[in-house]
Amino acid sequence: MLRKGLALAALGLAFLAGPALASTHPKEPKDVHWSFEGPLGKFDKAQLQRGYKVYREVCSACHAMEQMSFRNLGQKGGPFYDPKYPNPNDNPYVKSLAKDIQVKDIDQDTGDVIQRPGIAADKFPAPFPNEPAARASNGGALPPDLSLIAKAREGGPAYVYSLLTGYQNSPAGLTLTPAQHYNPYFPGDLTSAWHGAAHHVPQGGAIGMPPPLAPGKVTFDDGKPSTIDQQGKDVAAFLAWAAEPKMEERKEFGLGAMIYLLIFSGLLWVSYRKIWKNIGH
Amino acid sequence: MSGHSTYEPKTGFERWLDMRLPIVRLAYDSVVAFPTPKNLNYWWTFGGILAFCLGIQIVTGIVLAMHYVPHVDYAFNSVERIMRDVNYGWLIRNVHANGASMFFIAVYIHMFRGLYYGSYKAPREVLWILGCVIYLLMMATAFMGYVLPWGQMSFHGAVVITNLFGALPVVGPSITTWLWGGFAVDDPTLNRFFSLHYLLPFMIAGVVGLHIWALHVPGNNNPTGVNVKSAEDTVPFHPYYTVKDGFAISVFLLMFAVFVFYLPDALGHSDNSIKANPLVTPTHIVPEWYFLPFYAILRALPDKLMGVLAMFGAIASLFVLPWLDTSKVRSMRYRPTAKLYFFIFILACIALGFCGAKLPDDQVIPGFTSFQLMDADLNSFVWLSRIAALYYFAYFWVITPLLGLTETPLPAPESISSPVLSHPATTPTGAVASPEKRG
């Protein structure tokens, strides 16, 4: 009896205490339709080309893509693939893209560190020589490598797109340092920076990257209007391709494998029925 | 049962070889003429499926090892190189990574089948224990394999799991240091995990050999749980079960292919696409799905050592099950009460898996605060896992022993061929009518 009473009292107290303060969750990524969704989805080549331009002209100032080489841009399924050049190292467009970028090398005669124009086999050069240098140039924040970013974040390319296009003015009551920027899609917990009503901590987090995109910041060669939304979508698609350049090959192979297995299973089922025909079991 | 060999060498070479090394005879007796109960349903095809999974993992693993670099500075990039530059590397790696999950799906079904039909009971105790050994080896192999890509979840998962041994009194810290090969998870740890990850599958293959040997002495159990009485109850393994297992493997492969080709990352974690960084801990460290029930048991207890002991106890309970079960009736077809408790057991295992993926303090029913009990709110995943873990242990240590003594089983059929009181899915007496309705 006493125990029951205590339990009931505890129950009452718990209700009085009100709901526990849950930590904030970032906003769900926006709903985007991608051409590469679904079992038959393919990348939109023009979109990948625009996306590469956004990466090259905007993102690459701070973000490395260490898994990527210029030749990848011209490989099958890549943004600049040309069936005339099955070896992407021969693709003249890829070669010219690489040539525009200076890469670090060693002079073979003197051993000095030099800069030379890139070739298709070169990796994308990193914007900073090391992590401390990257942090020093970015207010202490480390710009993550983007090679796998579309796989390394919950929500994938939709998250990348939402983050890039989702910057908002920081709500009144949120105190951020000048190096921080409010973004409702960025995971984090703003409780300590929040001075408003305790139950209404804003969603999202404080990101070190200032809003990177602006209307007209990149000129698209195919004449697409260069809005923030278009730039965000295109670069997210490019990063999705870069995270898994073999995705189209995977899906194509998969279709054949599924058809083969279906037929094979059907044949085995017929054989099974035939062999077991006279066995009562 | 195994009985006498009916193998007759047909060619001169076979006769010559049979006098010296009767390997063809062994194969013939094991996979051709082997008398198998004719009433095995599709739950029995998972043995073949598992052998197939092991083969796939070994073959893909050997190819991956040709391209993988077990070094903290290169491991992550070498895996990415496999995904991007190695011919069909993406296929081999997706098959291997998802193959581990497929292997565990199959092994869990195989184990639940053994539990339901009483396949662990006399005379198959050794067969069951060898299966438990394989399962234990599989868990060790899968855990070490998950560390190799050296992503964030690989690294921090390795830290959490190896630290568990540190909870053991006196020897704990020494064992942890010994496992690490140093004072933290680092290059020596990665190297030994790679070495062991390559070794253990061959040990599994060896124990699988013993498992099959131990199966072929008493012969297969069957859905009725009744012993084979005469030759009428059996069919030769080939072609009857080679074709049935083959069909099942092919259907299983269809499901496997859906994951490999269309959902290759669905069973993984996005944090493992980030290179390991010892200085940045992921917000939630979660193991792969197949470890989640044990992870939930580990976290259900407030004390670390107790949690570790409970987790190992959950596996140890499987080993002693043949001696915990007091019921003489093998198949739960004829044990309605046991059947009920068994289905609750499956639910408890699923609930534990669910809890393992959640933060312990998150609410099960959102927005409802009940009251604090011990160290957590009653409406939290930690309490759900406590209840489910309690049932897990009660099922083995209380329910199973008592049920055999108290329940009244239904009458079992005389033999496999004459199921007097048959299962509804089985047509009485050896008629041919509507075979499509039978498993």
Distance, in Å, from the CA atom of B237 to the CA atom of B30, rounded to the nearest integer, reads 8
pTM: 0.91
Whether residues A250 and B264 touch (CB distance < 8 A) is answered with yes
* B293 and B146 housed in the same domain: no
Which residue among B262, B372, B438 sits closest to A254, beta carbon to beta carbon? Answer: B262
pLDDT, position B434: 42
pLDDT, position B36: 96
Q: What is the CATH number of the domain that holds B52?
A: 1.20.810.10
Evaluate the omega torsion of the peptide bond into residue B293 and state whether it is cis, within 30 degrees of 0: no
Distance, in Å, from the CA atom of B35 to the CA atom of B241, rounded to the nearest integer, reads 10
Q: Are A179 and A140 spatial neighbours (Cβ–Cβ below 8 Å)?
A: yes
H-assigned helices in B43-124: 46-67, 75-84, 89-116
> Does B198 have pLDDT greater than 90?
yes
Which residue among B244, B283, B367 sits closest to A272, beta carbon to beta carbon? Answer: B244
pLDDT, position A24: 65
> Does A280 have pLDDT greater than 90?
no
> Does B234 have pLDDT greater than 80?
yes
pLDDT, position A21: 41
Residue from B274, B372, B381, B417 whose CB has the most chain A CBs within 10 Å, to mutate: B274
Is B402 an 8 Å CB contact of chain A?
no
Residues of A with CB below 8 A from B253's CB?
Answer: 261
Is A61 an 8 Å CB contact of chain B?
no
- Per-residue model confidence as pLDDT tens digits over B305-360: 999 999 999 999 999 999 999 999 999 999 999 999 999 999 999 999 999 999 88
pLDDT, position A197: 85
* B114 and B60 housed in the same domain: yes
Q: How many domains does chain B contain in total?
A: 2
Distance, in Å, from the CA atom of B158 to the CA atom of B287, rounded to the nearest integer, reads 9
* Helix (DSSP H) and strand (DSSP E) numbers for chain B: 15, 4
Q: Work out the minimum CA distance from A143 to partner chain B, whole angstroms.
A: 13
B76 domain residue, yes or no = yes
H-assigned helices in B217-303: 237-262, 292-300
Is A250 an 8 Å CB contact of chain B?
yes
Relative orientation angle of helices A45-57 and A228-243, to the nearest 10 degrees: 100
For residue B284, give the nearest of B270, B298, B273, B294 by alpha carbon: B270
B317 domain residue, yes or no = yes
Which residues span the domain enclosing B333?
286-413
Q: What is the CATH number of the domain that holds B297?
A: 1.10.287.980
Residue from A21, A142, A281 whose CB has the most chain B CBs within 10 Å, to mutate: A281
B293 domain residue, yes or no = yes
Which residue among B90, B260, B262 sits closest to A246, beta carbon to beta carbon? Answer: B90
pLDDT, position B293: 97
Q: Work out the minimum CA distance from A170 to partner chain B, whole angstroms.
A: 24
* B304 and B408 housed in the same domain: yes
Evaluate the omega torsion of the peptide bond into residue B239 and state whether it is cis, within 30 degrees of 0: yes
Is A199 an 8 Å CB contact of chain B?
no
Proportion of chain B in helix, strand, coil states, percent, rounded to 5: 65, 5, 35
Q: How far is CA A226 from CA A54, A209, A215, B273, B296, in A?
A: 10, 21, 6, 31, 50
* B126 and B85 housed in the same domain: yes
- Per-residue model confidence as pLDDT tens digits over A161-183: 999 999 999 888 899 988 899 99
* B248 and B319 housed in the same domain: no
Which residue among B243, B265, B369 sits closest to A275, beta carbon to beta carbon? Answer: B243
Whether residues A152 and B273 touch (CB distance < 8 A) is answered with yes
User: Which residues, other chains included, contact A92 with Cβ-Cβ below 8 Å and sequence gap of 6+?
Assistant: A85
B377 domain residue, yes or no = yes
pLDDT, position B51: 98
Which residue among A250, A269, A280 sits closest to B261, beta carbon to beta carbon? Answer: A250
A25 in helix, strand or coil?
coil
B164 domain residue, yes or no = no
- Read off the pLDDT band of B364 (50, 70, 90): confident
B360 domain residue, yes or no = yes
Q: Are B379 and B329 spatial neighbours (Cβ–Cβ below 8 Å)?
A: no
Whether residues A250 and B91 touch (CB distance < 8 A) is answered with yes
> How much is the average pLDDT of B294-300?
95
- Residue with tokens 């040990």, as numbered in its chain: B203
* B199 and B315 housed in the same domain: no
> Does B209 have pLDDT greater than 60?
yes
Whether residues B250 and A279 touch (CB distance < 8 A) is answered with no
Is B366 an 8 Å CB contact of chain A?
no
> Does B143 have pLDDT greater than 60?
yes
- Read off the pLDDT band of A8 (50, 70, 90): very low
pLDDT, position A19: 37
Q: Are B62 and B178 spatial neighbours (Cβ–Cβ below 8 Å)?
A: no
Cα A110 from chain centre: 41
- Read off the pLDDT band of A22 (50, 70, 90): very low
Average pLDDT, chain B: 93
Is B231 an 8 Å CB contact of chain A?
no
> Does B71 have pLDDT greater than 90?
yes
- Per-residue model confidence as pLDDT tens digits over A124-162: 999 999 999 999 999 999 999 999 999 999 999 999 999
> Does B436 have pLDDT greater than 50?
no
* B245 and B319 housed in the same domain: no
C-beta contacts of B57-61 below 8 A and 24+ residues apart: B57/B96, B57/B99, B57/B100, B57/B103, B57/B201, B58/B201, B58/B202, B58/B205, B60/B92, B60/B93, B60/B95, B60/B96, B60/B99, B61/B96, B61/B197, B61/B198, B61/B201
pLDDT, position A281: 61
Which residue among B240, B273, B370 sits closest to A276, beta carbon to beta carbon? Answer: B240
- Give me the residues of B, 48-87, that contact A with CB < 8 A: 77, 80, 83-84
Q: Work out the minimum CA distance from B339 to partner chain A, whole angstroms.
A: 23
- Give me the residues of A, 178-197, that contact B with CB < 8 A: 187
* B218 and B324 housed in the same domain: no
* B403 and B317 housed in the same domain: yes
Is A162 an 8 Å CB contact of chain B?
no
Q: Are B165 and B175 spatial neighbours (Cβ–Cβ below 8 Å)?
A: yes
Distance, in Å, from the CA atom of B349 to the CA atom of A70, rounded to the nearest integer, reads 49
Q: Work out the minimum CA distance from B293 to partner chain A, whole angstroms.
A: 23
Distance, in Å, from the CA atom of B385 to the CA atom of B296, rounded to the nearest integer, reads 6
Instruction: Please give the residue of chain B at the shortest CA–CA distance from A281.
Output: B39
The region of weakest confidence among A191-200, B82-91, B169-178, B212-221 is A191-200
- Give me the residues of B, 101-160, that contact A with CB < 8 A: none
Residues of B with CB below 8 A from A153's CB?
Answer: 270
> Does B382 have pLDDT greater than 70?
yes
Q: How many residues does chain A have?
A: 281
pLDDT, position A25: 81
Is B251 an 8 Å CB contact of chain A?
yes
Q: Which helix (H) or strand (E) holds A104?
A: strand A102-106
Q: Work out the minimum CA distance from A264 to partner chain B, whole angstroms.
A: 7
User: Which residues, other chains included, contact B58 with Cβ-Cβ below 8 Å and sequence gap of 6+?
Assistant: B201, B202, B205
B303 domain residue, yes or no = yes
| Amino acid in position B79 | V
* B308 and B404 housed in the same domain: yes
Q: Is A129 exposed, middle or buried (0-12, 13-18, 19+ CB in 10 A)?
A: exposed
> Does B420 have pLDDT greater than 50?
no
B294 domain residue, yes or no = yes
More confident of the two residues A200 and B3 = A200
- Residue with tokens 């992407």, as numbered in its chain: A88
* B310 and B240 housed in the same domain: no
> How much is the average pLDDT of B364-387?
86
- Read off the pLDDT band of B419 (50, 70, 90): low
pLDDT, position A200: 86
> Does A18 have pLDDT greater than 50?
no
pLDDT, position A11: 41
More confident of the two residues A43 and B371 = A43
Distance, in Å, from the CA atom of A23 to the CA atom of A28, rounded to the nearest integer, reads 15
Whether residues A258 and B369 touch (CB distance < 8 A) is answered with no
Whether residues B77 and A15 touch (CB distance < 8 A) is answered with no
* B46 and B191 housed in the same domain: yes
* Helix (DSSP H) and strand (DSSP E) numbers for chain A: 9, 4
